[in-house]
Amino acid sequence: MKFFLDTANIDEIKKANDMGVICGVTTNPSIIAKEGRVFEEVILEIASLVDGAISGEVKATTIDAQGMIEEGRKIAQLHKNMVVKLPTTTEGLKACKVLSSEGIKTNLTLIFNVPQAILAARAGATYVSPFVGRLDDISMNGIDLIKDISTIFKIHNIDAKIISASVRNATHVIECAKAGADLATVPYSVIEQMMKHPLTDQGIEKFQKDYRAVFGE
Ligand code: G3P
């Protein structure tokens, strides 16, 4: 399983990118709004830093297919690595069909059940993004959704890549990987959680202590 970073925060993107652990970035309207910056500016800055797929979503207020298609084309023109993120609605699927037929990569978001994932894939989506954490939040099982989509995509040779989204912790990452997700898009805090182990910290401390005792600094 590979990783996208789910943020538009430049400092976090630089840190994760420098570590060599991400192959792209995903954004959504809430993430862009959080940074308080102009969409095109922040997207271009991200694209200049990360050599990989960058998902930019159509405006949250654009709800008709024609509007999404026009915006999607503009987003795709921003940079060669752009992926147009669309909501999984009837209008989003129509937009996905048109944009995909033009060779534009798409990421269908806000997926909460298997039928939505299958329809998104059939409409030509490059990526489907089922939301794990938000399902867990309402006492449903987000990981089971990843397992089901992954099983069905394999049986039917469906090419769309599964991005586990709304990933909240390192345990989600492990479970999504076991469930067959192609990618997980994670906030920087999850990368930090994944890296941390008290025995690693203690080990470094002991190596330093033992080394200094014999060799000094
Ligand atoms: O970008 C989509 C998704 O990852 C958002 O996650 O934490 O807002 O549910 P969250």
Residue-by-residue DSSP string for the chain: -EEEEE---HHHHHHHHHHT--SEEE--HHHHHHHTS-HHHHHHHHHHH--SEEEEEPPTT--SHHHHHHHHHHHHHH-TTEEEEEESSHHHHHHHHHHHHTT--EEEEEE-SHHHHHHHHHTT-SEEEEBHHHHHHTTS-HHHHHHHHHHHHHHTT--PEEEEBS--SHHHHHHHHHHT-SEEEE-HHHHHHHH--HHHHHHHHHHHHHHHHHH--
Residue 27, pLDDT > 90, answer: yes
Mutational pocket test of ligand 1: of 28, 57, 110, 145, the residue with most ligand atoms within 8 Å of the beta carbon: 28
The residue whose C-alpha atom lies closest to atom 5 belonging to ligand 1 is: 166
The one catalytic residue in 34, 80, 85, 161 is: 85
Confirm whether 59 is a catalytic residue. no
pLDDT, tens digit (0-9, with 9 covering 90-100), for 115-138:
999 999 999 999 999 999 999 999
pLDDT, tens digit (0-9, with 9 covering 90-100), for 49-107:
999 999 999 999 999 999 999 999 999 999 999 999 999 999 999 999 999 999 999 99
| pLDDT band for position 217 (cuts 50, 70, 90) | confident
For the CA of 26, the closest atom of ligand 1 is 1
pLDDT, tens digit (0-9, with 9 covering 90-100), for 161-182:
999 999 999 999 999 999 999 9
Neighbours of 214 (CB within 10 A): 6
pLDDT (0 to 100) of residue 38: 96
Ligand 1, pocket residues at CB < 6 Å: 6, 26, 28, 131, 133-134, 165-166, 185
Distance 212 CA to ligand 1 centre (A): 45
Mutational pocket test of ligand 1: of 107, 134, 146, 164, the residue with most ligand atoms within 8 Å of the beta carbon: 134
